[in-house]
Structure 1
Amino acid sequence: MELKVYADRMSQPARAVLIFCKMNGIEFEEIKVDFIKRETVSPQFKAINPVGQVPVMVHGGFKLFESNAILKYLAHAFPGVADHWYPTDLFKRARIDSVLDWYHLNLRNGIVPLVQSTALARPLGREPNPQVAAQAESILPAAFEMFETFWLEGDAPFLLGNTQPSIADLNLVCEIMQLELLDDEVRDRILGPHKRVKKWMEDTKDATMPYFEEMHALLFETKASCKSSSSPSLACRKPPAGPLWPEIRHTEA
């Protein structure tokens, strides 16, 4: 059965799925879906995923969305995936699940609205919203403190005291990388106090090279091109002309 992954590489969960496939030698067709061009809310895409978000996986006749669910499926559906990604051991697997559940309501709950109300506001057809940004950023100090003091155990390089990365490491590092779209001063204000988190990020990047770099190239190209232009807040990646959709959701909530 042919595997298809519908993704926009500007989406942090989509990057995690793409890196996982590459890391584990899983053959797949990447189908690009551009959320700035409203392709995620097109009738054609919503026939595949009615909630209008990426990533989406189609494996034969089986369709699945939500990156956590996709990563767990891929870890078991394809032979040769190393056990450390999503262990068969029930207790180890449950702990990975706890990290993934936690991050959606903490790190992601701060990072997504922060980036979408600042750097991605105008590409999404909105005005920057300082109030939303401030509220979103206020979530992050406690989230990163919890990350650093609880999920990173001892001197181990990866989450939960592991010596090799899991799908939790992959999803969380791709999430935090979205902060690269912010002004350097803001990003450094958020991440600067958390040296263990920054070290973990470097370890996770190194463990997933060269695919980590490949899948984040678009993010850095977008940041560089907009930083050198006169257009504020990534406005150089403009949405198409015409009426705005009432709601745009480019990655899973």
Structure 2
Amino acid sequence: MLQPLKVYADRRSQPSRAVIIFCRVNQIEFEEVTVDLFKSEHLTPEFRSIILRPFTDFLSFHQVGGNSPSPKINPMGQVPAIVDGRFKLFESHAILRYLASVFPGVADHCAAGASLVQDTTYQGSPLSLGLGGVSPGSWRTCNASSCGRWFSIAARQLMTWLEEGSCTWYPADLFTRAKIESILDWHHSNLRRGAATLVMHTVLAPFLGIATSPEAAKQAERLLMQSLGTIESVWLKGDAKFLLGSPQPSIADLSLVCEIMQLEILGDDVRDRFLGAHDKILIWMDNVKKATSPHFEEAHELLFQVKAIMQSKGPAASPKLKITSKL
């Protein structure tokens, strides 16, 4: 009997919320295991320690002697992390990619069309493809012999268009998927770095009794503003409903919006100072919320509770904690 997927998370963590929302929206059965970051549960030996396990504990066709190092949950001491049977994984973007790829019907519905291109035909007719895009037009035509690997890529693109599939969370379309990957990579060193650092050094650190850095907060504020501008100017052009002009959200939409939601902790006035001038971002965030409702709202309930506590008490004199979380 297969063990249920386990998601180790703290809903005060924006990447944790993204994974939880993704599972809920896509009806992926899982057990949520709360790891309280404020209590440093992510740093306990039970969560992060490396233990030695015999190779024979793992699926193998041959018995191998010796021991194999294996993390109990996540040796990095961060959330989210998942355990899927004997498989363990951390880093939210890697988890989202894994879930979208492993669970049937989640990634997108265009992948089925690509499987029809086995002998450079579509419904019995030879394919002669253009390299100008995925919609009809005056293209420079090519075939398998003249264009090599580009023919298979173009064929996949054309099949996506012919089948009129609903490309969504993690599209099979190679070009679109690569662009989503670029957004996710950009996110870590830009939007996330700016938003998370600002929240930590202006609100969370004082609340938890941790030393703050005004200079780090200033740099984070500048990076956050630049990042919001980049999202609008590069990925939300025109009347785009979601990133890259997609009619449906991707894992990049979900990850970035959950990150921006963390600004709620700063209070309404400060949040509005950052987002008030970015109408496109506000509309986009609302679109993501609606597309993932009611799970989006449910996953963020704890965040708003934390916001209310911070607003009522202000910075608290708490014991200093060693925080290496992904808040």
- Do the structures match in fold with TM over 0.5? yes
Q: Which residue of 1 aligns with 2:12?
A: 10
Q: For 2:98, which of 64, 70, 73 is the aligned residue?
A: 73
- 2:106 aligned with 1:59, yes or no? no
**Cα distance, 1:139 vs. partner?**
0.9
Q: For 1:202, which of 277, 283, 286 is the aligned residue?
A: 286
Q: How large is the Cα RMSD of the aligned pairs? A: 1.5
**Cα distance, 1:82 vs. partner?**
4.8
Structure 2 CA distance for partners of 1:71 and 1:143, relative to 1, 3 Å: same
Runs of 5+ consecutive residues of structure 2 not aligned to the other structure: 49-71, 109-167
Q: What is the aligned residue count?
A: 243
* Distance of 1:40 and 1:124 partners within structure 2: 16
Q: Which residue of 2 aligns with 1:136?
A: 220
- 2:255 aligned with 1:171, yes or no? yes
Q: For 1:36, which of 27, 35, 38 is the aligned residue?
A: 38
Aligned residues of 2:210 and 2:321 also touching (Cα < 8 A): no
Q: For 2:324, which of 239, 245, 249 is the aligned residue?
A: 249
Q: Which residue of 1 aligns with 2:314?
A: 232
Structure 2 letter corresponding to 1:43 = P
Structure 1 window deviating more from structure 2 (75-84 vs 124-133): it is 124-133
**Cα distance, 1:76 vs. partner?**
1.1
Deviations 1:8-50 (A, max 9, x none): 0000000000000000000000000000000011111103101
**Cα distance, 1:183 vs. partner?**
2.7
Aligned residues of 1:114 and 1:137 also touching (Cα < 8 A): yes
Q: Which residue of 1 aligns with 2:300?
A: 216
Aligned residues of 1:114 and 1:136 also touching (Cα < 8 A): yes
Aligned residues of 1:23 and 1:208 also touching (Cα < 8 A): yes
**Cα distance, 1:126 vs. partner?**
0.6
Aligned residues of 1:8 and 1:54 also touching (Cα < 8 A): yes
Structure 2 CA distance for partners of 1:10 and 1:244, relative to 1, 3 Å: closer
Structure 1 window deviating more from structure 2 (77-86 vs 54-63): it is 77-86
Q: Which residue of 2 aligns with 1:24?
A: 26
Structure 2 CA distance for partners of 1:205 and 1:244, relative to 1, 3 Å: closer
- 2:241 aligned with 1:157, yes or no? yes
Deviations 1:65-95 (A, max 9, x none): 0000000000011112151100111111101
Aligned residues of 2:82 and 2:88 also touching (Cα < 8 A): yes
Structure 1 letter corresponding to 2:264 = E
Deviations 1:218-248 (A, max 9, x none): 0011112332x2x214x3xx86x5x643xx1
Q: Which residue of 1 aligns with 2:180?
A: 96
Structure 1 window deviating more from structure 2 (135-144 vs 162-171): it is 135-144
Aligned residues of 2:5 and 2:31 also touching (Cα < 8 A): yes
Structure 2 CA distance for partners of 1:244 and 1:140, relative to 1, 3 Å: closer
Aligned-residue sequence identity (percent) comes to 58
Runs of 5+ consecutive residues of structure 1 not aligned to the other structure: none
Instruction: Determine which structure has more spread, i.e. the larger CA radius of gyration.
Output: 2
SS of the counterpart of 2:82?
A: strand
Aligned residues of 2:107 and 2:172 also touching (Cα < 8 A): no
* Distance of 2:82 and 2:273 partners within structure 1: 36
State the TM-score, normalized to the length of structure 1: 0.92
* Distance of 1:210 and 1:82 partners within structure 2: 21
Aligned residues of 1:36 and 1:123 also touching (Cα < 8 A): no
SS of the counterpart of 1:36?
A: helix
* Distance of 2:271 and 2:321 partners within structure 1: 29
Would you tell me which structure has more strand in proportion to its own residues?
A: 2
* Distance of 2:284 and 2:306 partners within structure 1: 25
State the TM-score, normalized to the length of structure 2: 0.71
